[in-house]
Amino acid sequence: MNPGAYPMVRSMFVLALMAGFVACAGSEQTERMPEAGGDSGAVAVDGGMVAGASARGDGAVRMYGSIPYAAPPVGERRWLPPQPVEPWDGVRDGSQLPPACVQVILPVPPGEDPYFGPGATHMDEDCLYLNVWSAAAPADAAPVLVWIHGGALRMGDGSSVAFDGSALASRGVVVVTLNYRLGALGYLAHPLLRAESANEASGNYGLLDQIAALEWVQRNIAAFGGDPQRVTIFGESAGSWSINYLMATPSARGLFAGAIGQSGGVFAPGAGAVPRPTAESAGEQFAATVLGEDTDVSLEALRALPADDVVAAATGRVLVNIDGWVLPSGVNDIFANGAQHDVPVILGSNADENTALARYAQGPRPGSVAEYEEWAHHEYGDLADQYLAAYPAESDADVEAHIIDSGGDGRFVWEMRAWARMMETVTSPAFVYHFTRVPPAADAARYGAYHTAEIPYVFGNLDGGGRYWFANRDYDDTDRRLSDVMSSYWINFAATGDPNGAGLPEWPAYSLETEPALELGDTVQVRHGIRGDRLDFFDQLYAARRAATN
């Protein structure tokens, strides 16, 4: 057997690294609109007045959609940090959801149903908008939850029906979802862009958009009944990467009081921000490719390109970069030195993170125990025996499951444990969860507690399940009880910095000594050292890879 003949197996780790053909690429913006009627509750925000619309049949919650938090990043503003909102006259209609930022569309594997929805159907480069859900008669100083969507920093948007904030808002929080620039439009670094920057930096525009949205929240959320001192940011997959970066960047200091990371971190080698020269070199190659090798590269020429062409030409991994401004150093170093924002966090992962991702991996894979063991020695070298001890295949039937499981453990479950451990360098607590509930469906055995499965439980949107993710989910009373518990934990955390509250199972703060994690599944219970031996293997692997590059 030739281990190099199994590119699919390595690509599972690449898919997990990209994580975003995974998280909420489906948008379906036109399917969930507020029901018009009653007082619009118009409020004053940066730029002018905006009117909302009823988001529920009982009129208890309003949605204010398509609120601009920055000027359109088009023309000369392409590849600039977000600029101030352009004022408007009259009252802006907030009854519609905004377009998604221009992005690639998730390909559906042959013979498969769309797993993460059909992809965004309404896209525009003018996309820096956010949505707010709040009680129609809001109490003063309600806690605020700000959602950052996933999608590998290449796709997704804040207006998917999965992220409808009305159920959470009906329970006394203000919910904000937002768009940010994606792909090459959001993260292109280039020496010409750095030369025109007052901060001598380029790239990271999508991250700057997120910071601008949080600054908007600080200035404006009180108009919707929200408390700017009790803002919690939360996100999943690449949205959780973004949470990781926001906790590290000095530019976001004071913009949030708590953070929730769901299935995504940037601590593993190759997962986080790259050095500026690496990103700029990739940007120079991209510019030469998209403009043509014989064309002089200029910002004028790049900014004149159609947005669709820019996005389509960028096929590699999106590169966040250590620009010396937004990110003064790598996230590992910032956290290791205790320089991250000292705020409480909830961190967690799902039991079967890689099952859905494996659908997108192409090519052959080891099929027998002998091929699996040979592949492991090729992939892990001197650490192959440790890998095989953590993931032993006793029969050929074990091989595929172990490859899938190890991809999920190494890129998702390990990341969240590493993040929790890194919080030992500050004083604020971390609360760790492990989501194990298998959403009921005919294909439940294939996918288990898959990547993104927890999102509708958090948002309390189980009854909308026919319009996103698997259309054939048949949620039952167990799921609804778990959703109520999970929503309660998230709401309590936004309100107090502690998820615990009356009527809920006790959720202990994380400690290195006992490594407690709250299992969120058919039962809700505390477990200790989840997958410890397997995650310890990845500690060894990543330490060796870091040593090899130093």
- Of 181, 196, 208, 203, which is closest to residue 282 (Cα–Cα)? 203
Beta bridge partners of 233: 146, 259
Please state the length of the chain: 550
| DSSP assignments along 361-429, one per residue | --S----SHHHHHHHHHHHHGGGHHHHHHHS--SSGGGHHHHHHHHHHIIIIIHHHHHHHHHGGGSSS-
**Strand-strand pairing, 61-68 and 53-54:** antiparallel
Sign (positive/negative) of CA torsion 220, 261, 9, 539? positive
CA distance 435 to 180: 27
Q: Is 237 a catalytic residue?
A: yes
| Cβ atoms of residues 320 and 187 within 8 Å | yes
With contact defined as beta carbons under 8 Å apart, do 72 and 125 qualify? yes
CA angle 449, 451, 452 (to 5 degrees): 100
Distance, in Å, from the CA atom of 461 to the CA atom of 234, rounded to the nearest integer, reads: 16
116 and 25 Cβ atoms separated by less than 8 Å: yes
Judge whether 23 and 103 are in contact, CB under 8 Å: no
- CA 141-142-148 angle, to 5 degrees, is 120
CA distance 506 to 522: 16
Instruction: Take residue 172 and report the two structure tokens written for it.
Output: 């006394």
454 is an active site residue: no
Max distance between CA atoms of the chain, in angstroms, equals 71
Which of 149, 190, 341, 451 is an active site residue? 451
Name the catalytic one among 353, 371, 373, 454: 353
488 is catalytic: no
Token code pair at residue 112: 């498969």
Give the Cα separation of 424 and 335 in Å (integer).
9
95, 159, 237, 483: the catalytic one is: 237
3-state secondary structure 474-539: CCCHHHHHHHHHHHHHHHHHHHHCCCCCCCCCCCCCCCCCCCEEEEECCCEEEEECCCHHHHHHHH
> In the beta sheet, which residues pair with residue 134?
62
Active site residues per annotation:
237, 353, 451
